[in-house]
Amino acid sequence: MEYIAISQLNDWKNKKIKFPAITAYDFSFAKLFSNQGIPVILIGDSLGMTIQGHTSTLSVKIKDIEYHTKAVRKGAPNTFLISDLPFMSYYDTKTALKNTAKIIRSGANMIKLEGGKWLIEIIKELSNRSILVCGHIGLTPQYFHYLGGYKIQGKKQNDANKLIDEALLLEESGIKVLVIECVPEKLAEKITKCLSIPVIGIGSGKNTDGQILVMHDLLGITEGKIPSFSKNFLSESGSIQKAIQKYIHEVKTGIYPSPQYSF
């Protein structure tokens, strides 16, 4: 795979070329995904649930993200890597800068933060230091207790307007990519059109610039309830490699997510 930089993601948005992304946490899967042509990998704090066996992402620590980022980078040397800053690892600017440095040194191209208006000054300080920042709005798993569980966000007009305002504010503050999770398809489309930066959706319809899924959901190996927006690509493919090829094809052609996997 050729080296993927933020400029490539921007170029895809401008040319309306949809791109796939996936989570990964280790060398072997990172190498497999990279070899199949996945251009963007997220080292997500979802590892708290998929790897560590917790019921939420809240237990994940900076040292966990460091460890898994290093492993993924070894497996995917040319892939664009985004790493989550976990819960309470960016509660103020000083702490955010300190922990971001650890993650970037571990091999990430970009760090991801969950939240809206309160992040403005932190994002500005990171951007001033040439750190690439990814925002994350909609369903934000680190706000699990505050939101009252994993629920669709932005269904009411006031809530939708707030998400649009947050997206614009985050872009103005300096984020270079935005993840929108579990919002209605029309709202995600509107946000994507409003922003000049790439927008990656999860459970937010097919009209975002990119799509991302947790690898365990995509491969149908999640224990318990699988998110309704997630498709088991392995069941239709026969091998992990073919499942990833199918995922890439369906994202690029707009087949996935179909209305069945959207809100």
Name the residues annotated as catalytic: 181
> Which residues, listed in sequence order, are joined to residue 218 by a DSSP beta bridge?
none
The answer to whether 17 and 211 have CB atoms below 8 angstroms apart is no
Q: What is the dihedral of CA 4, 261, 115, 176, to 10 degrees?
A: 20
> What is the chain written as a DSSP string?
-PPP-HHHHHHHHHTT--EEEEE--SHHHHHHHHHHT--EEEE-TTHHHHTS--SSSTT--HHHHHHHHHHHHHH-TTSEEEEE--TTSSSSHHHHHHHHHHHHHTT-SEEE---SGGGHHHHHHHHHTT-EEEEEEES-GGGHHHHTSS-----SHHHHHHHHHHHHHHHHHT-SEEEEES--HHHHHHHHHH-SS-EEEESS-S-SSEEEE-HHHHTT--SSPPPTT---SGGGTSSHHHHHHHHHHHHHHT-SS-GGG--
The answer to whether 149 and 141 have CB atoms below 8 angstroms apart is no
**What's the token pair of residue 190?**
């509107």
